[in-house]
Amino acid sequence: MAAPKPTPSPRKKIRIRLKAFDQRMLDRSVLDIVETAKRTGARVVGPIPLPTKREIYTVLRSPHVDRKSREQFEMRTHVRVLDLLDPTLDTIDKLKVLPVAAGVDILMIFRNCLQFRIKRTSRLFKVGERER
């Protein structure tokens, strides 16, 4: 009878999702995170650009008459995803204090990182185990 194969231990991983209305500001923030992660010894996968979400709003130009005269505005939301594989404690500490532009929304999801559980010290982190 063959010996059972040892199950590989799950990889420690941090998934970072960044959203912004301004693409240049988003790319600058992504570069800062990638440089910080590489400096601390984590492997970086990405940035992966996700499809741009486009919302169009149509409003009347005048308040009373000219119903046919309308104006359209659009709002584009750009999204990038980064995966940090095998992060160290130093990586997490550096990411916690990394300054990010005001218009960039960051969501961090920690997977298989029991020893990295931290308290909610910042609004930038979504902390906890999330298995998929």
| CATH code assigned at 90 | 3.30.70.600
Average pLDDT in the 38-42 region? 86
Mean pLDDT of the chain: 78
Q: pLDDT at residue 66 above 70?
A: yes
Whether 109 and 126 have beta carbons less than 8 Å apart is answered as yes
**Other beta carbons within 10 Å of 131:** 6
98 CA to centre of own chain: 14
Q: Is the pLDDT score of 130 beyond 60?
A: no
Q: What is the CB-side half-sphere exposure of residue 41 using CA atoms within 13 A?
A: 8
pLDDT band at 8 (very low <50, low <70, confident <90, very high): low
Q: Which residue has the higher pLDDT, 113 or 42?
A: 42
Predicted TM-score of the model (pTM)? 0.68
Instruction: Please report the pLDDT score of residue 79 as a whole number.
Output: 92
CB atoms within 10 A of CB 57: 9
CB atoms within 10 A of CB 17: 16
Tell me, what DSSP letter sits at residue 65?
Answer: S
> Per-residue pLDDT for 1 more than 50?
yes
CA–CA gap between residue 128 and residue 46 (Å, rounded):
22
Q: How many domains does the chain have?
A: 1
| Residue numbers of the domain that contains 111 | 13-52+80-129
Q: Which two tokens stand for residue 112?
A: 């298989």
Structure confidence at residue 127 (pLDDT): 47
